[in-house]
Each structure stands twice: as C-alpha cells, then as structure tokens.
Structure 1
Amino acid sequence: MRRSAATEDRQDFPLSEVPPSARKSFASLCVVLLGFTFFTATMFAGGRIGVAFPLWPDLVLIILTGNLLLGAYVAILGLIGYRTGLNTALLSRFSFGRIGARLPDLVLGLTQIGWYGWGTATMAVVLLRLIGFDPEANAALTTILILFFGMAFCWTAYIGYRGLEILSRISVPLMVLLLAVSLWIAIGDAGGIAGLSAIAPTAAMGIGTAITIVFGTFVSGGTQATNWTRFARRPSHAVWGALAAFFIGNGLMIATGAIGALVYQQPDVVDILAAQGLTFLGIIMLVLNLWTTQDNTIYNFSAVGCAALETDRRRQVTLIGAVIGTILALMRIDLYLIPFLLMLGTFIPPIGGVIMADYLYKHRGKYPLLAQASIPAINIPGLAAYVLGCLTAYLTPGIPPLNGILAAIIAYILADKILARSTEAN
C-alpha cells in the first residue's frame, strides 16, 4: 500500500523526486549546507597545509584555487539536483544504469561512513585532550565516548531535513563567531599581516597535493550536495547555496586551520585553540562543528543506502550506517586523515563528472520522471568514463580532482558517441 504524503515527507523522498510543495527557502538550504561544511577535519587539513607554505602568494592562492574548484563543481551538481528533484544516488541510476549505479553507491556510501567514523572518533579523542586526559591512557573512557557520540550524532539525521536545519540554525552563527575570534587572535599573535607574511614554512608539500587536500576535504559530501539542493525553490538558491557553503564556508575553515598552523607552527587545531586560551569555547565549537557535519554525513549515507537497497525506510538505514561508522571509529580511522583525503580527491570527483556529462550532454538538461523512465541495467559509457576518470586522476600530474572530472566528462561523451554509432551500424 502506498505511503501517505505526510509519511513520505518525514522520510525525505529517498526514492522519488522532491515535489514543489516540499521545497525549502534559500535561508533554510544555505544554513544546512554551511552546517555541513563547517567541519573540524577541514581545519585539521588546513593545518597540514599551513605549515608547508608561506602566506603570500602560495597559501592564499592554494586556498582560493582549491575552494573555487570545489564550489564550482558542487554548484553545477547542485543545479542538477534542483532541476531534477533527485538525490545523487537516484541521479546515478541515469548515469550508470540501475545495476551499474551500485558502484558509485558503494564508493559514496563507504566514504560517508568513513567520515562518520572519523568524526565520531575525533570527537571523543579531542574532547578528552581538551579537558586534560590522555585518550590512549584512558582507552575505556575513549570507547564509552565513541559509543555515545556514535549514536547521538545520528539523532538529527534520523529526524530528517528538518532536524538538520534546526541544529544548523543554532550552531552556524556560533561557529562563525568562534572562527572569527580564533583568526583575530592568530593574526594579532603573528604581529599583523606583515608578521604573517614573514613566517617561513617548516614542512614540505607539493602544490598539486595541497590543492587536492583542499578539494578532497569535501568532494565526497559535495558530490552528494544534490541530497539538499533538490529541496531548493529556485535555481539561484541551489547555485548560491552551494557556493556559500563549499567556496566560502569550506574556505573559511581551511583558512582558519592554515593560518593558525602558520602562526603557531602546529598543525593540530586542538593545540592551537589551547594556545589561544580558547579551550572552553573550543569544546563548544567541537561539539557543534562535528555534530552539524556528522548528521549530514549519515543523512548522505541513508540516501545512498535507500537507493541501493530500494527501500524508503530512511530512518532505519540511518541507524545502520551510524552503527557501522561507530565500529570504524572504535578501530581509530581518525589516524588516517591525509591519506583518506587524497583518496577522496582522486576517486570521488569522476562520479560527479559522469553525472554532469550524462545530464547536460546526453539528456540535454532534462530527465524524464523517475517512475516513467526507461533506465538500462548498465550504462556502459558511464562506467567506462568513471574508470578512465579515476585512472587519469591517479596517474597524471597537476590537480588530480580536476583532471579526473574533465577526463570523465570527455570519456563519457566519446564513449556515448562510439556506442551510438555502433548501435546504428547494427
């Protein structure tokens, strides 16, 4: 029996287009996306970059370039989400086929669970450090906190979009305030902009690697930004909401971590906050910062999981994902942030490239309604383009995420043309 409209709304339409009646305001969309990108891991990543480059021009250009690429990438996907009303997992059915979509579903699902595990473990470990405990020497307490936060973080995602919005409206202004205070103190301790510019880096890192890290911080979440932009009322809301979150918001987090690391020569954001005398505020920021990202992350997993399992029981899938992520947290996935970011920056962007090529080139910017669409089991151009995009990102020099996206788009168009000619010849 078909579910009622009210029940579908509570489940956030995991298997269908978002109808006009369920669309949200720009303010609602923007605050949810900003809450998602205000993430402690981004500050940690910024810290790793900050100790490796001088402020001008290297560090400034790396932060601007990486976040501009990320913002533009997400804005295009966000517009597709608005126009179709579909989340990323459902868009993948058109791009990869009904069965072929299981590949991007698996990749995106695993990365979101990985992020959930990272955030949960980081919450427990950093909280203990901020209050003066050694997480390694207090393993039992660390385990208890991981279990607690692993279940607590999924509560707002369990509620749905409305739960994400309520928490973000509270936390985003507070986090902006704390970031501003931290930046102000760091610049003052450095002796102003002139003092910042005079600080020499103490670590080494390639520019391409640094941009990949900036891009990789949120390329997985950005690829799934359609999960929220499908709720937009206007195309401009989807585009500007994506840019506000993934260019400005993510850029602010990277810059705060990088400048703090440059000033204090310490890539660990926890030690930076302690050095600035912001321990108490740091605890508040840590909880709000991670919670607003963790609930969005597990919400992403629920969208992918519902599509892969062909079920509309989003809340149950949310709980399953939280349990798996908590297990990864207990295995201390938080110890592998930089390799994880580099992996994401290599293997996730081609998925977005395939979706863009399929929607904009093959379907000329218009998908049929999902219930009426004739979707093949496997879309060969999509799968071939994804593989070639990943190989290009992994093997070529320069900026791997950008290389992977462009290669996937070009490969999709060529493969689609070759397949069409082969079909006509037969």
Structure 2
Amino acid sequence: MADTNWRRLLRRAVLGKEGLADPDWPVDHVPRSERRDLLSISAVLLGFVFFAGTMWSGAEVGAALGMRRTFTVMAVGYAILGVYVAMLCLIAARAGLTTVLLARYTFGSAGAKWADLLLGGTQVGWFGVTIPMVAGPTAAYLGVTDPTLIAAITALWGVLHLSSAYIGYEGMEKLSFVAVPVLFVVGVVSIWLAAGDVGGFDALSNVAGEPGTTMSFGAAVTVVVGTFVSGGTQAPNWARFAENSRVAFWAGLVAFLLGNGFLFVSGAVGGAVYDVTPAGDLYAVLAAQGLATVGLIALILNIWTTNDNSAYAFGVAGSEAFGYERKRPFVLAGGVVGIVLALLGASGLLIPWLNVLGTYVPPLGGVVIADFLVRWRLRVPRMDDVTFAVLRPVPVAAYVLGCLGAILTAGSVIPGVTAPTVFPGIPTLNGILVAIVAHLLGYYVLERSGIATTHVVAADATYTHE
C-alpha cells in the first residue's frame, strides 16, 4: 500500500495532477484570466536575456572597435534585435500561443514538427552547453579539483536550473523578480568600479580597440544581433502571458534592446579594463574587482534565469510535438539529455552552437511575423476553429530561402565547411529579410490565387484578439 502511494505521488509530481490542465497552457491559448502585467513579462524576459555569453560578445566587440564605435554598433544591432523580438511578442500576446504553436498556423501541422525539433532540440543543446559556465566557477570558488566532484556540481546545477522551469511561468517569474534587480545593481557597480580603475568615465569612453584586433562594422553588428536572436525567437513562450499586445511589445523591446544592451556594455567595459579569460567574463571581472563572492552569486543568477527558459522552451516544444497537455515530462527528459551533454564536455561548442542557431532559427521567426501580418492580419482564430493543412508550401519554401540567404552571407555555418559568400551584410538579418520577402511574394502570388495549399478557417470561428 505504501509503495502504491509513493508511486502515485511520484506520478503526480512528474505529470501533474490527473484531470487538471498544465497551468502554463503549453498546447492551448492562454486564457485572459491568466494574463500578466508589464512588470511580470519584463522581469521574465530580462531574466532570460541576462546571459554571461552576451558579456563575452561585448568584450569581443569592444576589444576590436573601442568603446565609442561599440556604442554605434550597439545602436544598430539592438534596434534590429529589439524590433524583431517585440513583433514576435506582440503576435504571441494576440494569439496566446507559444512559438511552436504559432508555427503550426504558419507551416501546417506537419511543418510545426520542424519547429519543435529546431526550437526544442537546439535548446536542449543550449542547456547542456551553458551548465558548465556556472559549474566551473563554482568548483573554482570552492577549491574543488576532483573530476568526480566537479561532475556532481555540474549535475546539481542542471537539476536546479530545471526546477523553476518545472514549476512553470510562476516559478520563473519569482526567480526573475529576485535575480533581475540584483544583476542590474551588480552591473552598475562593476561599471562604476571599472571606470574608477581606468581613470574615470571620460577615459573609459576613449578606450581604443586592442592593436592588431580588427572587425568590420557589419561583423560587429552580426555579433550583437546573433548572440541572442535565436533566443529572441523563443520569446513568445512567455510573452503570450501578457495582458495585451502593447504590454508584450514593450516588454520585448525593453528586454532585448535595453536589457541586452546593458549587459553588452558591461562586458565591453570589463573586457576593456581587466585582463581576464574569457574577456568580459562576469565572475572573473568581479573577482578582479575584489568581489569574488558577489561575482559567483551574480553568475549563478545570470545562468539560472537563462537556462530555466531553455528548459521551459524544450518542454513546450515537446508538448506540441506529441500533443500532450503537460510540459513537465519533456522538461525532465530534455534536462537529463542536457546534463549528460554538459558532463560530456559540450561547453566547448558554445560559439559553433551560436553560429548554427543564428543561421537556422531567425528565418523561422521572420516567416511567422510575415504570415501573421499578411495572412492572419493579427486576427488569430482559435485552434479548434482551424482545419490545419499538413504543410503550407509557401512558408516552408520561404524559410528554406531565408536559411540559404543567411548561409550565402556568412560563407560558413559549420566549422570546416565553407560556402561562397554571395551577399554582403549581416547573415542573421539577411536570413530574416529574405524569409519575409519570399513569404510575402509567395502568399500574394500563390496562396491568395488558390494555387498553394493553406488552412481552412470555420465560418463561425472565434478569434483571440483583444
């Protein structure tokens, strides 16, 4: 009897109480009664974008261009990133749907499975790549060198990162309400101390790039946009909880323009003033400033609030892929895979992983934006009132062309494999623009004329817009 009760409790912990929907609505529209205000949505999105890798990118650009030109690059890059993410957030709030469910409207019921694999699968990899970023400094701070103990610390952090995603939006919200103010204060203090160490803010703003380090303006903007554009494509997973589309738009803009920009500046400043490896590393910079304990706490919050978003993303992607109304089993399954990847040394793949994400994820977001503007005109029928086509060839073709545009701009996506550089400019931006233009042309030429397959909406459909 006791064994039966234990198994019942375990089943409820993993799957949720039978008969109750997942409180995060992973395969349905978020009802109006569950919507949140600007403070809540902004906190969760800011927690997501406060990521140590952004600081490394800031240090890289700052070292190549100097502080003054870095600010110009940021103005261009974060304007692109902010508007892109804000539009996706607006659409998500209108529909009340995750990115993978928006993809069902755009690509069809089978086409959405690619979005599940792309957005969910890559986030499992991201989860594994980033756990060591906090496990390593934790071990160093504690003086732990034994490989077995370091592996145990890595696994422990992986489990903790899963915990708030397992709880859902509410758990992530509470963590972000604590983490975001702390990270902001620590960032301001660090910049202030760095300015003092270099001779004041005037001296800091005049810091030139390192001799022999070169980077074109376009390449620098690519770094700014590419560091978090793939993550930004996942922003609808949380923006769908916004009480209206205006709240979602401004929360996305604040997080991905101002929040991400603030962290980028922190990295650029730290990289310019302190000789640490990797340049701009949050923990290493704060340790150099005599704040090692503060640095570790900040790093823990920094990685945790990003990685639980990754776990949440592959949880909701799994729910859509298998048509299951609870995300928790997929959070746990993806988390186990991610922890194993971390233990196998996946942390060395961070930069190649960012390149892959920056090529193949943004065109998907571009097609979704174009589709919801021209096909749906932001009037989203409820899923029950739509007979979804298995595949919509126009958006699928537009996505493929967008990826090709990014590849032919970058010249290389996979290490060791080269492609001709045909287009000038920024690979990520070109991928988005090519996808949008291709979809617009295909929609007006092929879908509206009835040549290409699309969905059928019931005559008495109910719409989700405010």
TM-score (norm 1): 0.93
In 1, Cα distance between equivalents of 2:353 and 2:218: 16
Whole-angstrom CA distance in 1 between matches of 2:452 and 2:193:
69
- Give 1:328 deviation, angstroms: 1.5
What letter matches 1:111 in structure 2?
T
CA contact (8 A) 1:208 1:400 kept: no
> d(CA) in 1 for partners of 2:206 and 2:28?
55
Which residue pairs with 1:129 in the alignment?
140
Q: 1:268 to 1:125 in 2, by over 3 A?
A: farther
| Residue in structure 1 matched with residue 271 of structure 2 by the alignment | 261
1:272 aligns with 2:282: no
Show the counterpart of 2:203: 195
**For residue 149 of structure 2, what is the aligned residue in structure 1?**
141
Aligned to 2:74, which of 63, 66, 73?
63
* Distance in 1 between residues matched to 2:306 and 2:236, nearest whole Å: 16
Percent identity of the aligned residues? 43
Counterpart CA distance in 2 for 1:198 and 1:342 is 31
| Corresponding residue of 1:217 | 227
Does the 8 Å CA contact 1:30/1:245 hold for their aligned counterparts? Answer: yes
Q: Which residue of 2 aligns with 1:313?
A: 326
Q: TM-score, normalised by structure 2?
A: 0.86
The one-letter code of the counterpart of 1:99 is: A
More helix by share: 1
1:286-297 matches, cutoff 5 A: 286-297=299-310
CA–CA distance in structure 2, aligned partners of residues 79 and 70 of structure 1 = 14
Instruction: Tell me how many residue pairs correspond in the alignment.
Output: 419
1:163 aligns with 2:174: no
Q: Which residue among 282, 299, 314 is the counterpart of 1:301? A: 314
| Contact 1:357-1:409 within 8 A present in 2 as well | yes
Gaps of 5+ in 1: none
Query: 1:422 Cα shift?
Result: 6.7
- How far the C-alpha of 1:292 sits from its partner, in A, is 1.1
Taking CA–CA contacts closer than 8 Å with sequence separation of 6 or more, which of the two structures ends up with the larger relative contact order?
1
Q: Which residue of 2 aligns with 1:395?
A: 408
Tell me by how many angstroms 1:21 deviates. Answer: 0.8
- Specify which of 236, 239, 242 is matched with residue 252 of structure 2: 242
Structure 2: give runs of 5+ residues left out of the alignment: 1-15, 410-423, 454-466
Q: 2:65 aligns with which of 46, 53, 58?
A: 53
Q: Partners in 1 of 2:266 and 2:64 — Cα distance?
A: 15
CA distance in 2, matches of 1:167, 1:92: 29
* 2:284–2:295 contact (8 Å) kept in structure 1: no
In structure 1, the residue matched to 2:33 is 21
Tell me, in whole angstroms, the C-alpha distance in 2 between the residues paired with 1:106 and 1:218: 19
How far the C-alpha of 1:139 sits from its partner, in A, is 2.1
Letter in 2 for 1:82: A
What is aligned with 2:415? none
Distance between the aligned counterparts of 1:88 and 1:201, measured in 2?
39
Q: 1:419 aligns with which of 446, 449, 457?
A: 446
What is aligned with 1:379? Answer: 392
RMSD: 2.1
* Cα distance, 1:49 vs structure 2: 2.0
Counterpart of 2:427, as a letter, is P
Question: Deviations 1:238-291 (Å, cap 9, x if unpaired)?
Answer: 011111111111111111011110122441413322211111100110111111
Map 1:175-190 to 2 at 5 A.
175-190=183-198
**Structure number with larger C-alpha Rg:** 2
Check 1:425–1:249 CA distance in 2 against 1; reply closer, same or farther (3 A cut): closer
- The CA deviation at 1:339 is 2.6
- Alignment partner, residue 6 of structure 2: none
Q: Distance in 2 between matches of 1:204 and 1:341?
A: 21
Aligned counterparts, 1:322-361, within 5 A: 322-361=335-374
